[in-house]
Amino acid sequence: MIVIIMGVSGCGKSTLGTLLSEKLGWPLYEGDDFHPPENIDKMAHGEALTDQDRFPWLHELHQATVKARRSSSDAIVVCSALKRLYRQILLHGRQALTSSSCSEREALPPSLPGVYFLFLNGDYELIHQRMVARSGHYMRADMLQSQFSALEPPGAEERVLTVDIRRDIGDIVTEVVNLLSLRAPPWLPREQTIIAE
Ligand SMILES: Nc1ncnc2c1ncn2[C@@H]1O[C@H](COP(=O)(O)OP(=O)(O)OP(=O)(O)O)[C@@H](O)[C@H]1O
Ligand SMILES: O=C(O)[C@H](O)[C@@H](O)[C@H](O)[C@H](O)CO
């Protein structure tokens, strides 16, 4: 099973990803580690990434998830995955970009067996406060508006569990671990439920 933790900068992806990875013993693919240095430089200088900046980075993360799926290993992936197209790249790789028309792209399945999104959902004020309080991170709080502008919240057809980030982090971890242990997480539409991967 691959769990992709997504949401805007500062919503808590790395915190939750690290805790889940430790608790479950699953490897963690941290999106921040996959950025080329130019992307980090750009963000550190207060400039939002463009689609073109993000595409190669998303493709690298796609390849990491493909490897994990091929070896039947479970994994946690941390990636902002702000737009639907970005999530399609994570799932389908270059195919999501080379489909020549919008309708061809739309035809790519919005989800894949064994891959689930966890969307960390919170409002601007709360996340801004947390970013201001966070130290030692290259992403400044004044970048948050651009993250919300880019965000296209995932739909249910993308196999997503939405997490309210106002909750205590320990409670979130416990609940997610419990849900994942079911192997047929209840946020899946029944007919798509995969019992064993
Ligand atoms: N549920 C929570 N309750 C309170 N504070 C939290 C919670 N989750 C995360 N935080 C805090 O919020 C801040 C942002 O979290 P984190 O760095 O994990 O976000 P992120 O989504 O990985 O950010 P980025 O995308 O910029 O790397 C951190 O200081 C973290 O300790
Ligand atoms: O898509 C993006 O704009 C980037 O991925 C950012 O979200 C950063 O990677 C991260 O949030 C900062 O740590």
Q: Are 78 and 14 in contact (CB under 8 A)?
A: yes
- Take atom 3 of ligand 2 and give the residue whose Cα is closest: 49
Inside any domain, residue 154: yes
32 lines ligand 2 (CB under 6 A): yes
pLDDT of residue 197: 32
Grouped pLDDT means (10 residues each) for the chain, 197 residues: 96 98 96 96 96 97 92 92 96 85 73 90 98 93 97 92 95 92 59 37
> Which residue range forms the structural domain that includes residue 177?
2-192
pLDDT of residue 184: 58
Mutational test site, ligand 1, from 18, 123, 124, 130, max ligand atoms within 8 Å of CB? 130
pLDDT of residue 180: 85
Inside any domain, residue 118: yes
pLDDT of residue 156: 85
Query: Which two tokens mark 165?
Result: 């980030």
pLDDT of residue 5: 98
Q: At what angle do helices 84-92 and 51-70 cross, to 10 degrees?
A: 40
Query: Which two tokens mark 53?
Result: 């900046």
For the chain, the residue count is 197
Inside any domain, residue 95: yes
- Which CATH number covers residue 36? 3.40.50.300
Computed over every residue of the chain, the mean pLDDT equals: 89
Query: Which two tokens mark 12?
Result: 């808590």
The count of structural domains within the chain is 1
Inside any domain, residue 197: no
pLDDT of residue 179: 87
